[in-house]
Structure 1
């Protein structure tokens, strides 16, 4: 399954104070907090990790519908920057997920899948009509195929499988 997220870094700067007491401890593991503390751009790293976690949550919802969202349980095992793209391995409840993230024009775009090979099938959808299924998850209106929708600030992205 697929999940995606976008974060407008310009808007995130004004909407949330991630430096407030307890914020990082509630959302990020010790190793993730180390990534943040060691990052050249800590603001960007906070929201990159958040975007990865949100994408995994959405992908996991498609597999095991669960209304609870517990970001601290979504553990980013590795994060590598290769050719302008962050690649991540993430674990939730012992289940591995894989993420790819890009930052362009101060907008983070992340896609998470359960199988690495699924990245070959991911596509951005433009002008798609969608409705919500019985669990409140978005599906393409005409085909009924599952999609993932994310919007924040200046960006809205809908992704699905070919």
Structure 2
């Protein structure tokens, strides 16, 4: 299972006020809020953690589809200096890798850490959706993950 997310940092800065009352408590666990408070760039940390949570949600939908979104239940257990993460949702563990650039943050999350070597970035937007509205590649009919925010769009799947 694969999930991805992108955050256009310029758009997030313009459209979102993560410092407003209650925002952090609604989305992040106490451990995650501690990571934000200790980060040299708190805004970047907020959007990295958000990107990880969004990616987990997308991956989880592939094997237990449900329409609810519950960011506080998605728990980031470990985040290292290389922006690799271990996350848990409803007893299932996920592994994430996040890339941070001056303009964007991108995260990919997988069930199996060894599958990172199989990641494939699709250059085409030729995809359709399955019965649950989840994206699949038109050609291979395999599950993919699509994310777009502002100027950034990423479509990822697995190579054979």
TM-score normalized by the length of structure 1:
0.96
Aligned to 1:130: 127
Q: Report the Cα offset of residue 154 of structure 1.
A: 1.2
Select the residue among 92, 108, 113 that pairs with 2:105.
108
Q: CA RMSD in A?
A: 0.7
For 1:108 and 1:119, locate their aligned partners in 2 and report how far apart those are by CA, in whole Å: 18
Residue 54 (str. 1) matches residue 51 (str. 2): no
Moved over 4 A (4+): none
Q: Deviation string for 1:2-52 (max 9, x for gaps)?
A: 000000111100111010010000000000000000100000000000000
Matches of 2:153 and 2:81 in 1, distance apart?
24
For 1:17 and 1:128, locate their aligned partners in 2 and report how far apart those are by CA, in whole Å.
Answer: 31
Instruction: Report the secondary structure of 1:81's partner residue.
Output: coil
Equivalent residue number for residue 157 of structure 2: 160
> Which structure shows the bigger proportion of residues in strand conformation?
1
Residues in 2 aligned to 1:36 and 1:105: alpha-carbon distance in whole angstroms: 18
How many residue pairs align between the two structures? 159
| Distance in structure 2 (CA, Å) of the matches to 1:118 and 1:66 | 24
Moved more, 116-125 or 48-57: 116-125
Structural mapping, 1:81-96, within 5 Å: 81-82=81-82, 86-96=83-93
Deviation at 1:137, TM superposition (A): 0.2
